[in-house]
Structure formats: C-alpha cells, structure tokens
Amino acid sequence: MTAPTPQAPPPTVVPSDRRDASERAATGARVASLAAELRGAGVPAGVTEQVASVVRTAGLDAVIDLGAGMLTDEQAGVVLLDALLDARRRGVGSAETAAELRAVARLQTVVRQLLSGLAMTTRTAGVGDRS
C-alpha cells in the first residue's frame, strides 16, 4: 500500500484581505475627497444622490456625455464630471459609481450636520458670554 500524497496547505487569505482593505481605504479616500470638493463647490447632498440615481439608471457613459452642464453650477459640474471620468478610467461600472456617489452624499450630509451643530454650539456659547 502506498501512502497518500500530502496535500498542499490551503492558500492564505491574508493577501486578499490586505488587498480588500487597501481597496476600501482607497475608496474611502476618494469618497472623502469628492465629498469635500462638492461641499466646497456648494453641491447639496441631494444633488449628489440624484446624479447617483441617474448614473445607475442611464449608465456612467450617458452621464459623462452630459458634460459639466449636468449641474446648473458649471464649477460643481466640472468637479463631478472629473470624478465620473476618474471612475471610468479605473474601470468602475455604473452600479459601483452610483454606490460611491451615494457614499459621498451620506458623507456630505454628515459633514453638513456636524458643521451646523458646531455653528449652533458656537452661536449658543457666544450668546451666553455676552453680558
């Protein structure tokens, strides 16, 4: 009788986990950067959410074809167009791009709420200091 051949150990999951973590970090950085740019350009979270819906429905290329004029504010449209072109360069599909835009909209909302709360706290503290 011959002894069974030893089997190779299962592949380690660590490299895949590291790659996934790296991709999540890169996505998080893109989302934060775009949220900051859109906030700076005065784009409300609701507009970002609407663009995400159009990307998901009509497709990334169709929205890119609209150009910067997709938004009333040309500067804001340029910021958004650059982000969509970057997504296409990275080979990201419409559904993934829509998901990133929705994450951007959530972050825009959180930042707006934080800034509003901070402004309210500052005003309240300032009013109480006056004598």
- The shares of helix, strand and coil residues in the chain, as percent rounded to the nearest 5, are 80, 0, 20
| 18 assigned to some structural domain | no
CB-CB neighbours of 64 under 10 Å: 17
| 114 assigned to some structural domain | yes
Residue 21 pLDDT grade (very low, low, confident, very high; cuts 50, 70, 90): confident
Contact criterion met (CB below 8 Å) for 54 and 103: no
Examine the pLDDT at 118 and tell me if it is beyond 70: no
Number of domains in the chain: 1
| 122 assigned to some structural domain | yes
Give per-residue pLDDT as tens, 51-91: 999 999 999 999 999 999 999 998 999 999 999 999 999 99
Instruction: Give the domain range for residue 60.
Output: 33-129
| 95 assigned to some structural domain | yes
| 27 assigned to some structural domain | no
What pLDDT shows up at residue 24? Answer: 85
Q: Which of 115, 7, 105 is nearest to 52 (CA)?
A: 105
